[in-house]
Chains A and B, each alone.
Chain A
Amino acid sequence: MNWVLDNLWVVPAIPFASFWLILFFGKRLPKKGSELGVAALAACWVLAVWSCVAWISRQPAPSAGGGEKIRAAIEHNYTWLTSGTVKIAFGFHADGLAVMMLFVVASISLLVHVYSTEYMRGDVRYTYFFAALSLFTCGMFVLVTASSTLQGLFGWELMGVCSFMLIGHWWEDQANSDAALKAFFTTRTGDVGLLVGISILYFAAHQSFNFATLNRMALNGQIDHTLVLWGAIALLVAVVGKSAQFPLHTWLPDAMAGPTPVSALIHAATMVVAGVYLLARTYGVFWSAFVINPQTHGHHGFNAIAIVGAATILIAALLAFVQDDIKKVLAYSTVSQLGYMVMAMGVGAWTGGIFHLFTHAFFKACLFLGAGSVSHSGSHHSFDMKKDMGGLKKHMPTTYWTFVVASIALAGVFPFAGFWSKDEILVSAGHNGYFWFQVIGLAGAAMTAAYMTRCVYLTFHGEYRGHGHPHESPRAITVPLLALGAMSVGAGLFNAEPFGIRAFASWTRNEVFLQARIPDVNFSSGAAALSVAIVLVGGALAGFFYVREEFVFKGATERSALAKAGHELLLNKYYLDHLYTGIIVRGIRSPIAQGAYWLNQNVIDAVVNGVAVSARRVAGFVYDGIDQIGIDGAVNGVGMGAEEGGQSLRTLQTGKVQQYAAILFGAAALLALGLVLFA
Chain B
Amino acid sequence: MLLNQFLFLGAFLFCTGIYGALSRKNAVLVLMSIELILNAVNINLVAFGAFRDSPVGQVFALFVIAIAAAEVGVGLAIVLIIYRNRRSIDLTQVDAMKG
Contacts and interface: CB of A to CB of B under 8 A. Distances in A.
Contacts of B99: 649-655
A617 interface: no
Find the residue from A649, A650, A655 having the highest chain B CB count within 10 A. A655
B53 to A, nearest CB: 26
Contacts of A649: 99
Nearest to A665: B18
Nearest to A649: B99
Nearest to A651: B99
B47 to A, nearest CB: 18
Find the residue from B22, B91, B94, B96 having the highest chain A CB count within 10 A. B22
Nearest to B37: A665
Contacts of A651: 99
Contact of B95 (A656, A661, A662, A665): A656
A657 interface: yes
Interface in B28-82: 30
A661 B21 contact: yes
A82 interface: no
A650 B97 CA distance: 11
A658 B96 contact: no
A610 to B, nearest CB: 58
Contacts of B22: 658, 661-662, 665
A653 B98 contact: yes
A36 B92 CA distance: 82
Contacts of B98: 653-656
Contacts of B96: 655
Contacts of A652: 99
B27 to A, nearest CB: 9
Nearest to B98: A655
A650 B91 CA distance: 20
B39 to A, nearest CB: 17
A665 to B, nearest CB: 6
A657 B94 contact: yes
Interface in A633-679: 649-658, 661-662, 665
A650 B99 CA distance: 5
B99 to A, nearest CB: 3
Interface string B1-42: 000000000000000001001110000001000000000000
B92 A656 contact: yes
A654 B21 contact: no
Contacts of B94: 655-657
A658 B94 CA distance: 10
Interface residues of A, number: 13
A654 B95 contact: yes
Contacts, number: 34
Contacts of B21: 658, 661
Interface residues of B, number: 13
B59 to A, nearest CB: 25
B91 A656 contact: yes
A649 B98 CA distance: 12
A652 B98 CA distance: 9
Contacts of A658: 21-23, 30, 91-92
A657 B26 CA distance: 12
A661 B91 CA distance: 12
Nearest to B95: A655
B40 to A, nearest CB: 13
A105 B98 CA distance: 85
B97 A653 contact: yes
Contacts of B92: 656, 658
A657 B95 CA distance: 8
A40 to B, nearest CB: 69
Nearest to B30: A658
Nearest to B27: A657
Contacts of A653: 97-99
A361 B99 CA distance: 91
B18 A655 contact: no
Contacts of A661: 21-22
B36 to A, nearest CB: 14
A653 B99 CA distance: 5
B62 to A, nearest CB: 24
Contacts of B30: 658
Contacts of B95: 654-656
A654 B94 CA distance: 10
B85 to A, nearest CB: 15
Nearest to B21: A661
Interface in A254-292: none
A662 B21 CA distance: 9
A426 to B, nearest CB: 104
A657 B18 contact: no
A658 B90 CA distance: 11
Contacts of A657: 91, 94
A658 B98 CA distance: 13
A504 B68 CA distance: 96
Nearest to A658: B22
A650 B30 CA distance: 25
A668 to B, nearest CB: 10
Nearest to B96: A655
A658 B30 CA distance: 9
Given A661-B21, A661-B22, A665-B18, A655 B97 contact: yes
A653 B22 CA distance: 17
Contacts of A655: 94-99
Contacts of B91: 656-658
Given A649-B99, A655-B95, A657-B91, 18 more contacts: A651-B99, A652-B99, A653-B97, A653-B98, A653-B99, A654-B99, A655-B94, A655-B96, A655-B98, A656-B92, A656-B94, A656-B95, A656-B98, A657-B94, A658-B21, A658-B23, A658-B92, A661-B21
Interface of B: 18, 21-23, 30, 91-92, 94-99
12 contacts: A649-B99, A650-B99, A651-B99, A653-B98, A655-B99, A656-B94, A656-B95, A657-B91, A658-B23, A658-B30, A665-B18, A665-B22
Of all A-B residue pairs in the complex, the 3 with the closest CB atoms, nearest first, are: A653-B99, A655-B95, A655-B98
